[in-house]
């Protein structure tokens, strides 16, 4: 492959130089990076500066189908690779991943804007997920039982679903590909990964790790594109595709489910959230306020599991709000490479305009702006961490995923009301409960309509835990003991025994 350093000149190059490393910018099809000069490109922007940092191959529907050709051709051989050998490839990839930590972490900060410390946290979690799947591969199991009326035996085994489309969002560019690809490849499925156009470079580095670890050609394929709708529609309509695993907004997830329907394509959906963060009257208020800060402002609020509505019992509402606002004001906003920065930029100028519109809409309802509320002047797409106290929640603006550094605080008069307000949403991804009474914590968490509940903690992703939502937050789980089975189909053998 040609390595050019002046990649922002007039000629597209096959790698872009970023800080101390380079990243491939082509599509990865059938085990090779396709030269960029063969097709159109699009720009990747650093949201902290607004500067273009790379031009990346802009894949078409035909390119995505070429990726599916490669995945389909490799499927049978990959399925037959014994689990231990598959696991060995995973372990090799994990070692290479750790060796390239700095390059990957810095790339994440460059293209997503998240502060280095957050990027390091995401890197560690992603590596842990990949290791978790490596360990799972050797433990896939089936069952053996007698037929109900005798004369035969029931053997249940598992087989890979088949070629899978993995569509990832920009807000966790490494975690999402590691989590999906780990489960799919571990199960014996070949994959076509579609990166998010805002963060293709992190995906490219991850795929390069798999390539260098020795994953066979066609097992992993990567398509970047600015034409997501056409690309995925073409792949979804192809009968060779057997699975789609999507992380992103509920609207796009719903479109994909419709596209999956005609061919009965297996689908896993990790969609939006409207995280209720419930603080009961016996909560440790200092702990709740600190955890709410992390849960709300991590990734500048652009997280599916972010605290979207902070629901506080009136007995502790003043104390909690005072402390939460104090901690919010102490946050440092800026370029993720600068020391001491807590909150990075919004992903794009367009999204930042959306955040400003949300603030304006919250200002129109019965609410009080307690801090923040404005874009930060200067280069990049920064927005002040913002807190509103909301008095009337019966309006459209309070019934949506904010996905922004805007915290809304609601006061309630009882635990029952807190649960009612928490569940008054079409979403059901992550919820949080703060109380010092264990039995209350359990009782409340059982009543919350959500796939996950953090009890006295605001962060909970873990490779050993089943991550996912209910209601319009999704279908299926990633991580945990069963996640790899999302990419496996049970097969029942009836065996006559005389």
**In the bound complex, which residue of the shown chain has the CB atom lying closest to ligand NAD?**
248
Q: Is 46 in the site for ligand NAD (CB under 6 A)?
A: no
Stretch that binds ligand NAD, among 11-19, 83-91, 98-106, 170-178 (CB under 6 A): 170-178
Is residue 76 classed as helix, strand or coil in its secondary structure?
A: helix
Nearer to ligand NAD, 271 or 441 (CB): 271
Stretch that binds ligand NAD, among 87-95, 166-174, 237-245, 323-331 (CB under 6 A): 166-174
Cβ at position 305, least distance to ligand NAD in Å: 7
Q: Is 127 in the site for ligand NAD (CB under 6 A)?
A: no
Q: In the set 252, 359, 370, 398, which binds ligand NAD (CB under 6 A)?
A: 252
Nearer to ligand NAD, 157 or 249 (CB): 249
Angstrom distance (rounded) from CA 64 to CA 70: 10
Cβ at position 248, least distance to ligand NAD in Å: 3
Nearer to ligand NAD, 271 or 418 (CB): 271
Q: In the set 162, 273, 428, 454, which binds ligand NAD (CB under 6 A)?
A: 273
Q: In the set 124, 157, 255, 400, which binds ligand NAD (CB under 6 A)?
A: 255
Q: Is 270 a catalytic residue?
A: yes
Nearer to ligand NAD, 305 or 317 (CB): 305
Determine whether 466 is exposed, middle or buried from the number of CB atoms within 10 Å of its CB (0-12, 13-18, 19+).
Answer: middle
Angstrom distance (rounded) from CA 98 to CA 94: 6
Residues facing residue 144 across a β-bridge: 155
Residues facing residue 165 across a β-bridge: 192, 244
Nearer to ligand NAD, 14 or 401 (CB): 401
Cβ at position 102, least distance to ligand NAD in Å: 24
Alpha helices in 344-433 (DSSP H): 349-364, 415-423
Give the contacts of 429 (CB within 8 A, at least 6 positions apart).
Answer: 271, 272, 273, 274, 275, 304, 305, 450, 451, 452, 468, 469, 473, 474
Q: Is 403 in the site for ligand NAD (CB under 6 A)?
A: yes
Q: Is 228 in the site for ligand NAD (CB under 6 A)?
A: yes
Q: Which of 189, 304, 398, 401 is catalytic?
A: 304
Q: Is 38 a catalytic residue?
A: no
Determine whether 393 is exposed, middle or buried from the number of CB atoms within 10 Å of its CB (0-12, 13-18, 19+).
Answer: middle
Q: Which residues of 424-443 are buried (b: 16+ CB within 10 A; e: fewer)?
A: ebebbbbbbbbbeeeebbee
DSSP secondary structure string, 99-144? HTHHHHHHHHHHHH---HHHHHHHHHHHHHHHHHHHHHHTT---EE
| Distance from the first to the final alpha carbon of the chain | 62
Q: Which of 111, 270, 401, 486 is catalytic?
A: 270
Q: Give me the 195-214 binding string for ligand NAD, x by CB under 6 A, dash otherwise.
A: -xx-----------------
Q: In the set 113, 272, 372, 479, which binds ligand NAD (CB under 6 A)?
A: 272
Give the contacts of 73 (CB within 8 A, at least 6 positions apart).
Answer: 30, 218
Residues numbered 292 to 311 that lie near ligand NAD (CB under 6 A) are 304
Q: Report the sign of the C-alpha dihedral through residues 297, 123, 467, 198, in that order.
A: positive
Q: Is 125 in the site for ligand NAD (CB under 6 A)?
A: no
Strands 32-33 and 28-29: antiparallel
Place of tokens 């998240």: 114
Nearer to ligand NAD, 168 or 202 (CB): 168
Q: In the set 171, 221, 299, 450, which binds ligand NAD (CB under 6 A)?
A: 171
Angstrom distance (rounded) from CA 479 to CA 172: 15
- For 323, the token pair is 């402390």
- For 50, the token pair is 């607004």
Cβ at position 260, least distance to ligand NAD in Å: 11
Helix axes 83-99, 173-187, angle to 10 degrees: 160
Q: Is 486 in the site for ligand NAD (CB under 6 A)?
A: no
Q: Is 249 in the site for ligand NAD (CB under 6 A)?
A: yes
Q: Is 336 in the site for ligand NAD (CB under 6 A)?
A: no
Residues numbered 425 to 484 that lie near ligand NAD (CB under 6 A) are 429, 469, 474
Residues in the interface with ligand NAD (CB under 6 A) total 27
Residues facing residue 467 across a β-bridge: 478
Stretch that binds ligand NAD, among 27-35, 38-46, 94-102, 193-201 (CB under 6 A): 193-201
Nearer to ligand NAD, 112 or 328 (CB): 112
Of 236, 292, 238, 246, nearest to 269 by C-alpha is: 246
Are 146 and 172 spatial neighbours (Cβ–Cβ below 8 Å)? no
Nearer to ligand NAD, 229 or 438 (CB): 229
Q: Is 270 in the site for ligand NAD (CB under 6 A)?
A: yes
Catalytic site residues? 270, 304
Residue ranges that bind ligand NAD, judged by CB under 6 A: 167-172, 194, 196-197, 228-229, 232, 247-249, 252, 255, 270-273, 304, 401, 403, 429, 469, 474
């Amino acid at each position: 492959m040609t390595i050019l350093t002046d990649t922002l000149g007039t000629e597209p190059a096959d790698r872009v130089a970023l800080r101390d490393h380079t990243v491939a910018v082509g599509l990865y099809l059938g085990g090779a990076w396709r030269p960029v000069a063969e097709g159109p490109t699009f720009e990747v922007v650093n949201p902290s500066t607004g500067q273009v940092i790379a031009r990346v191959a802009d894949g078409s529907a035909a390119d995505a189908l070429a990726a599916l050709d490669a995945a389909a051709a490799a499927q049978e051989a990959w399925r037959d690779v014994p689990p231990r050998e598959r696991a060995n490839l995973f372990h090799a990839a994990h070692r290479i991943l750790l060796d390239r930590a700095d390059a990957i972490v810095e790339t994440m900060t460059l293209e997503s804007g998240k502060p280095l410390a957050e990027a390091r946290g995401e890197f560690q979690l992603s590596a842990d997920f990949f290791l978790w799947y490596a360990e799972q591969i050797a433990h896939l199991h089936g069952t053996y039982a007698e037929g109900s009326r005798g004369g035969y035996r029931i053997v249940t085994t598992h087989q890979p679903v088949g070629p899978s489309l993995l569509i990832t969002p920009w807000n966790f560019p490494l975690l999402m590909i590691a989590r999906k690809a780990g489960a799919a490849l571990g199960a014996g499925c070949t994959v076509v990964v579609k990166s998010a156009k805002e963060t293709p470079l992190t995906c490219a580095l991850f795929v390069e790790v798999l390539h260098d670890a020795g994953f066979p050609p066609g097992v992993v394929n990567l398509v970047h594109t600015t034409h997501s709708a056409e690309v995925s529609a073409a792949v979804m309509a192809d009968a060779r595709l057997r699975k789609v695993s999507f992380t992103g907004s509920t609207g796009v997830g719903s479109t994909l489910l419709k596209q999956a329907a005609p061919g009965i394509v297996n689908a896993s959906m990790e969609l939006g959230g409207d995280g209720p963060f419930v603080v009961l009257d016996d909560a440790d208020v200092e702990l709740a306020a600190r955890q709410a800060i992390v849960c709300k402002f991590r990734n500048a609020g652009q997280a599916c599991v972010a605290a979207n509505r902070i629901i506080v019992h009136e007995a502790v509402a003043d104390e909690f709000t005072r402390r939460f606002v104090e901690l919010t004001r102490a946050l440092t906003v800026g370029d993720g490479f600068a020391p001491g920065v807590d909150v990075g930029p919004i992903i794009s100028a367009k999204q930042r305009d959306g955040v400003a519109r949300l603030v304006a809409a919250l200002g129109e309802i019965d609410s009080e702006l307690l801090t923040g509320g404005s874009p930060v002047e200067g280069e990049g797409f920064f927005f002040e961490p913002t807190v509103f106290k909301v008095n009337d929640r019966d309006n459209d603006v309070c019934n949506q995923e904010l996905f922004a550094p805007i915290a809304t605080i609601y006061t309630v008069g009882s635990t029952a009301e807190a649960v009612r307000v928490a569940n008054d949403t079409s979403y059901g991804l992550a919820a949080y409960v703060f109380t010092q009474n264990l039995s209350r914590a359990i009782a409340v968490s059982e009543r919350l309509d959500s796939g996950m509940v953090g009890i006295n903690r605001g962060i909970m992703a873990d490779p050993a835990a089943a991550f996912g939502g209910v209601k319009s937050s999704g279908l299926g789980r990633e991580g945990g003991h069963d996640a790899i089975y999302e990419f496996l189909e049970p097969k029942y053998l009836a065996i006559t025994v005389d």
